[in-house]
Amino acid sequence: MDPFTHVAFGAVTASFLPFARKHRSAWVLASIAAVFPDLDLLIPYRGGPIEKQALHRFFTHTLLLLPFEALLLSWAFRYLLRNETLDKVQRYALALLGLLSHVFLDFLTSGGLPFLWPLTTHRFALDILPIVDPLFSFLLFFLFFSLWRDKSVGKWVSGSLALAYGILAGIQHERALECQQALWQQRHHMAQRAYILPSPGNILLWRSIYAYKGDYYVDGFRLGSAPTFYTGHRAPRITLEEMAPQQGTEFYKACSLFFWIGRDCIARLAPGVYANLCYSFLPHTSTLVAMMVVQEESIGITGKSIRMLIPQNWRERLQKEGRLFWEMLWNGEGKSIKHK
């Protein structure tokens, strides 16, 4: 989630603590704590964009370290606001609640996070909400403003709408799963690995990805009153085991991080070009715009590594895909889906 949504949600969760309602500074502490885990983006690192992306949503987002982060925040808040009447237990509870709200929101999105590290490095995700959702963020800010100004009507309206939106996102996710299964039946496929992901900024367009016989199939759904389907494409599935001969090299290390970030949903778009299929602007395609795409590059005589690939005409392509995205979002002119 974006930092503004984290701030609003952190303040909203703090309002559930009885003592926090009497101290607005309590909401400030919870809001700061709610965005604190994303400060891992400011940590100096050695490496390229892939290493930086792997560092994000890592150890600062794990349940094991959250209690220590809460201790640090409560200690810092004590010295920043010396006249504050909150005791140390209250400060710690607010900081921990804000941190947990951050992890919870990230868990709902399609990016995933390894919150059980070091027990496991698996990236957990419910894939219910997009990483950026303007409508959900607006509802949370409306709720935060109503709580801050103590507007009873606004609190009930905004709180009910935010809760309803979250429930609707879960319902849409289940509908997308049903559509994906119907698509398997129409194609007579038995999926080996499957993903259902919301497209950026909304819960109307969904991205379907599944593996079958060595390929990934990528398609799109528009889940209005009557679900419609957008035929996508297929691309060869790549596994980390295929790169085992390179084990121990910098190339293999970089590929391991790329596979981990992409939750093993990696396909070959072209020779030496690999894409994380979980990220794309359009729900039914795998383009170079708004995706994590890497390309092999030579280092020295025999060595090689991978680098992020950005198309030269990305602005023009983004404008073109943006127009198509809005057409899909508002018109919904796709194929109907037959459920058996």
User: Is residue 25 within 8 Å of 6, Cβ to Cβ?
Assistant: no
* pLDDT confidence of residue 155: 75
Residue 161 domain-assigned (yes or no): no
Which among 287, 130, 128 is positioned nearest to 199, based on CA atoms? 130
Domain interval for residue 30: 3-126
Whole-number Å distance between alpha carbons of 259 and 247: 14
Whole-number Å distance between alpha carbons of 31 and 25: 10
pLDDT tens per residue across span 153-180:
777 888 888 999 999 999 999 999 999 9
Same domain, 102 and 225: no
Residue 173 domain-assigned (yes or no): no
For 65, 211, 295, 307, the CA distances from 144, given in Å and listed in that order, are 27, 42, 44, 41
The angle formed by the CA atoms of residues 31, 36 and 38, to the nearest 5 degrees, is 125
Same domain, 206 and 331: yes
Could you state, in chain order, the average pLDDT of each consecutive group of 10 residues for the chain (340 residues)?
Answer: 90 82 81 92 75 84 94 87 76 92 93 90 92 90 81 78 93 95 91 91 93 93 90 88 75 83 85 82 69 59 59 74 84 59
Same domain, 117 and 199: no
pLDDT tens per residue across span 311-337:
667 677 778 888 888 888 887 665 655
Residue 144 domain-assigned (yes or no): no
- Which residues lie below 8 Å from residue 152, measured CB to CB, with a gap of 6+? none
Query: For residue 282, which amino acid is it?
Result: L
Q: Domains in the chain: how many in total?
A: 2
Domain boundary among 101, 126, 151: 126
Domain boundary among 74, 108, 126: 126
Percentage of the residues of the chain whose pLDDT score is greater than 90: 35
* pLDDT confidence of residue 71: 94
- Main-chain phi, psi angles of 151, to 5 degrees: -95, 105
Residue 156 domain-assigned (yes or no): no
Residue 32 domain-assigned (yes or no): yes
Domain boundary among 104, 126, 148: 126
Same domain, 196 and 327: yes
Same domain, 225 and 315: yes
Whole-number Å distance between alpha carbons of 42 and 277: 27
Same domain, 207 and 328: yes
User: Is residue 288 within 8 Å of 309, Cβ to Cβ?
Assistant: yes
For 181, 198, 279, the CA distances from 208, given in Å and listed in that order, are 10, 9, 12
Residue 81 domain-assigned (yes or no): yes
Tokens of 8: 């609003």
Same domain, 237 and 109: no
Whole-number Å distance between alpha carbons of 263 and 194: 11
